[in-house]
Amino acid sequence: MVIDKKYLDPFILATERAAYGASLFKGKGDKIAADQSAVDEMRNQLNKINMKGTIVIGEGELDEAPMLYIGEEVGNKFGEELDIAVDPLEGTNFAAKNLPNALSVLAVTKKGNLLHAPDIYMEKIAIGAGFPDNLVDLDFDVQKNIERLANAKRISPKKITACVLKRPRHDQIVNSLNSLGVKINFITDGDVSGVISVADPKSNIDIYFGIGGGPEGVLAAAALSCLDCQMQTRLSFQNEDEKNRSRNMGIKDLNQKYNINDMVKGDVIFCATGVTDGDLVKGIKDQGDAFQAETYVLHKSSNTNKIIKNNIKK
């Protein structure tokens, strides 16, 4: 069962509008206001779409009215039953400080086809397309993963580039990469585009490593599932409360390793619109009565993989 192509444009408009909403607060130092503006614009557009939509990855876990919360119903209550993962403003710090790589992101599947990940940390490892299945694994140490990848690419580990979110929790990974002579491309935030960079030959990133947000992990998996890349994740719990919340969301095996097909099943649409200029897409450009938005669009069943530029009336 595929998602009809007619859904592409209205979902693209949802991230375009959200990115525009966030862009109004670019560089104003208020990440909460930027996020709320993105949420309001995205919700408004989602509710115009002819669908019975449910937010399964959102910004709050309960009935947190101002945010697009998990379980919130969106759409006009007609049309297909769809599950939606949203990150109306991915990289709130980037937007607040007017730094590159702030995005507005969503992914859509048929009902029941997206992992309901709680908003907790997730371990992630990802590589590009064209490698044997299960080449890398979260249970291998860094050295083994790098050596297996280097062997498959027939290059030395010293020619590998890894992308890592700059956080103290990754010191051990970084030390291991340094001792192997691997080049590291640090990002300060925004691991959705960090993970997706493994799919882009122009990025020169061979592998993504580290712990970031669970929702961001599922969103990145949605993109990589359209790009035939590999990704493995595992929830990373900080306390008992997080374990209980996960059980309540239906997660039975808390230590499960998820491959892309465990997170995203069947057909999927992925849209990412730039708020500020970034590696993936350019940011919102104000044109007076209108704004210009650039969006990275993927749709698995129609093999859509393109960057589109639209001018939209404010």
Provide the binding-site residues for ligand VTB, judged by CB under 6 A.
90-91, 167, 189-192, 212-213, 216
Residue labelled with tokens 């862009």:
23
Burial status of residue 119 (CB atoms within 10 A of its CB: 0-12, 13-18, 19 or more): middle
* Residues paired with residue 69 on neighbouring β-strands, in sequence order: 60
Residue number, 54 or 104, with CB nearest to ligand VTB = 104
**CB-CB neighbours of 282 under 10 Å:** 17
We find the least distance from the C-beta atom of residue 95 to ligand VTB, in angstroms, to be 10
We find the least distance from the C-beta atom of residue 239 to ligand VTB, in angstroms, to be 14
- 204 vs 197: CA distance, rounded Å: 8
Residue number, 61 or 147, with CB nearest to ligand VTB = 61
Whether residue 81 contacts residue 52, with contact meaning beta carbons closer than 8 Å, is answered with: yes
**CB-CB neighbours of 186 under 10 Å:** 13
We find the least distance from the C-beta atom of residue 289 to ligand VTB, in angstroms, to be 31
We find the least distance from the C-beta atom of residue 150 to ligand VTB, in angstroms, to be 26
DSSP state of 92: H
Residue number, 3 or 222, with CB nearest to ligand VTB = 222
- 14 vs 148: CA distance, rounded Å: 40
Residue number, 28 or 166, with CB nearest to ligand VTB = 166
Residue number, 167 or 183, with CB nearest to ligand VTB = 167
We find the least distance from the C-beta atom of residue 94 to ligand VTB, in angstroms, to be 8
